[in-house]
Amino acid sequence: MTANFTSASPSIDKAIAANANYGSFNRLIFDMINGTTSAATTACGFVTAQRFPTRPTIPSVGAGVQGYIATNIQAFTEDSNTIMIVGLEYLLGTVLFAANTFTAGVSMPLKTVKGTSGIQTASGLTMMVVRSGLTATNPVITTTYTDQAGTTGRTCSLTIPTNATANSAFLMQPHMTPSSNGVRSVQSISRSTGSIGVIDVYGILPLYISHRNVALYNTNILNNFSIPWLIAPGERLGFYRLLSNTTCDACISITLVPEPS
Amino acid sequence: MTALQNFDEYVTRALNGYWARRSFCGQIDSNTTATLFAGQRLSLQLGALYTIEAMQPGVSGYRLTAGTLYSSTQTPFLIGKIVYLGAYNLGTGLFDTGGPMPTVTEGNISRQVYSSVIMYAASNLTRTSGTSLNISVQYVDQDNNTAESAPSVTLTNPVTQNTAAFLRLNGTDIGALDITGCSTTGTGVYTGTIAFLGFIPFGIFNPTLQTAASAMQLNLLTDTFSLPLLSANDQIGFINFSNAAKRYQGTLSFIGEQA
């Protein structure tokens, strides 16, 4: 078989054949946020967000397969009027509050789209996430990054709520220059104050976004195959929820179809 | 004969009689309990299972291609393969060992798949004396660590049959390959049985476009492009996220994998 969704001529027939010949990846994952997280303010993302702790890793693949394409993802929580996001997640960098030390992460990956390889992706949904609870009064977190066009030295600052709790997530885009709000990589992260806690910055390539209406109806936007990102072995999925900071259970159903080499 | 390769072949097989439609139904006569244990937030319900029949002559397996589901209450249903991992009889304290999660071919590699674990009240759970009962489940995690023990949870009382919950695993564990045992602490004495089930999802019956009681469709040929291959005695389950009493019925369409 030859490449399908990453080629210039994808087809459902090829996907059906890839499923039959190589086998799809099907998983049901349960995750939870057990403590109330910190709500966003106008100084940190505007929209309240949470990150679930689980990060499933895409396992190895066999001969003739280069990875998977997400054809169906569904996510459920108990709360109405919230938004669930599932995406490929990349740890771009970390700051340890204790000594204000920065640890570099990865750059956003190169992807093949419609037969063109080596396309540099940029995160259009970049999250500042509290990995472990902070002890700090309104710390300002400043990130230096390379934007979607490759321009280096861009900066973005968020003022995080006092003593922000683990699994709180803050959207960085509103605090970037509008013309440079995609992120290829992060060069530094620093905090203004505080001595306890860890903050990570994640880049995301969204695979699924759904809005939960007034009941548990999964009114998803990207229900079906929409974004042909190749999900390569070793890459990880991340789960986020918007519009709530309460404790939460989540159930995520994932179907990935193998993508031939 | 190779596995189903494309739409044309699907049509040819259907015209040649390698097509089957089967009905299923479920009935949950009274509301199930919102929570199986203290702290559970997402209500879960699991009704009757559908068992794949013996293969017809010349057919080596059934590929699920589509389905319909009508429910008397509006809620989405996840459909998938149920794997019986074990059960714990609260009255006798005996654990019935089920099978592990299956080994499948995915991405052209054969491996055992992990699953979130569904705790399922296979019968009514009733406390007959004492106060509370805490239950802890031993499992093999997704990385084949064999001595994992899930954090203890306190059972609700009473719990209605068909009530379900996701087992809360340790730390960063994301699934289990097997359930190996169950233990309890506390003075509560219960009757009833909790089953532990794995679930391999196929898709969703989604009531998004309905405004009342829901008639929902599932088309794997166009929704997921992933047509699961099923064998005789495989069991299909329907998870929903409501604890309301309900009746549901529907159909499942299969195309035969020719022997």
Give A70 to chain B, closest Cα distance, Å.
8
**Is A197:A134 a contact under the CB 8 Å cutoff?**
yes
Is B106 in Cβ contact with A27 (below 8 Å)?
no
Residue B211: its pLDDT value, please? 55
A28 touches chain B (CB under 8 A): yes
Is B208 in Cβ contact with A219 (below 8 Å)?
yes
What are the pLDDT digits (tens) for B132-145? 999 999 999 999 99
- Which amino acid, residue B62? Y
Is A224 in Cβ contact with B223 (below 8 Å)?
yes
CA distance A18 to A24: 8
Residue A221: its pLDDT value, please? 41
Secondary structure letter of residue A18 according to DSSP = H
What are the pLDDT digits (tens) for A149-200? 999 999 999 999 999 999 999 999 999 998 999 999 999 999 999 999 999 9
Residue B194: its pLDDT value, please? 98
By C-alpha distance, which of B256, B240, B258, B259 is closest to B248?
B240
By C-alpha distance, which of A163, A162, A128 is closest to A142?
A128
Q: Span A53-75, mean pLDDT? A: 94
Residue B208: its pLDDT value, please? 66
Please tell me which residue of chain B has the smallest CA distance to A72: B224
Is A77 in Cβ contact with B108 (below 8 Å)?
no
Residue A200: its pLDDT value, please? 98
Q: Span A40-69, mean pLDDT? A: 97
Is B74 in Cβ contact with A217 (below 8 Å)?
yes
By C-alpha distance, which of A75, A72, A59 is closest to A15?
A72
By C-alpha distance, which of A79, A83, A190, A92 is closest to A142?
A190
Reported as half-sphere exposure (CB side, CA atoms, 13 A), residue A188 has a value of 10
| Mean of all residue pLDDT scores within chain A | 92
Is B113 strand, coil or helix? coil
For chain B (259 residues), the mean pLDDT of every run of 10, in chain order, is: 85 92 94 96 92 92 95 88 98 96 97 97 97 97 95 97 96 94 97 98 79 75 91 96 92 90
H or E segment and range at residue A245: none
CA distance B5 to A18: 8
DSSP B191-248: ESEEEEEEEEEEEEE--TT-SSSEEEEEEHHHHTS---EE-TT-EEEEEES--S-EEE
CA distance B116 to B43: 15
Q: What percent of chain A clears pLDDT 90, i.e. is strictly above it?
A: 81
CA distance A107 to A202: 10
pLDDT above 60: residue A219: no
Residue A125: its pLDDT value, please? 94
C-alpha pair distances (Å), A2 with each of A197, A199, A226, B159? 47, 42, 20, 52
| Mean of all residue pLDDT scores within chain B | 93
Secondary structure letter of residue B17 according to DSSP = T
Q: Span A248-261, mean pLDDT? A: 94
Q: Which two three-digit tokens encode residue A220?
A: 């998803």
User: Which of B79 and A228 is assigned the larger pLDDT?
Assistant: B79
What are the pLDDT digits (tens) for A94-148? 999 999 999 999 999 999 988 899 999 999 999 999 999 999 999 999 999 999 9
Residue A224: its pLDDT value, please? 45
**Is B251:B24 a contact under the CB 8 Å cutoff?**
yes
Q: Report the helix count and the strand count for chain A, using DSSP H and E.
A: 1, 16
Give A160 to chain B, closest Cα distance, Å.
26
Is A251 in Cβ contact with B241 (below 8 Å)?
yes
A247 touches chain B (CB under 8 A): yes
Q: Which two three-digit tokens encode residue A241?
A: 């929820």
B94-115 residues labelled b (16+ CB within 10 A) or e (exposed)? ebeebebbeebebbbbeeebbb
- Which amino acid, residue A242? L
Per the DSSP assignment, residues forming a β-bridge with A130 are: A199
A36 touches chain B (CB under 8 A): no
CA distance A125 to A92: 12
C-alpha pair distances (Å), B129 with each of A118, B36, B126, B153, B188? 66, 18, 9, 18, 6
pLDDT above 90: residue A222: no
Is B108 in Cβ contact with A76 (below 8 Å)?
no
Residue B179: its pLDDT value, please? 98
What are the pLDDT digits (tens) for B207-241? 765 555 567 888 899 888 999 999 999 999 999 98
Chain A residues inside the 8 Å CB shell of B11: none
Counting beta carbons within 10 angstroms of the beta carbon of residue B160, is it exposed (0 to 12), middle (13 to 18) or buried (19 or more)?
buried
A223 touches chain B (CB under 8 A): yes
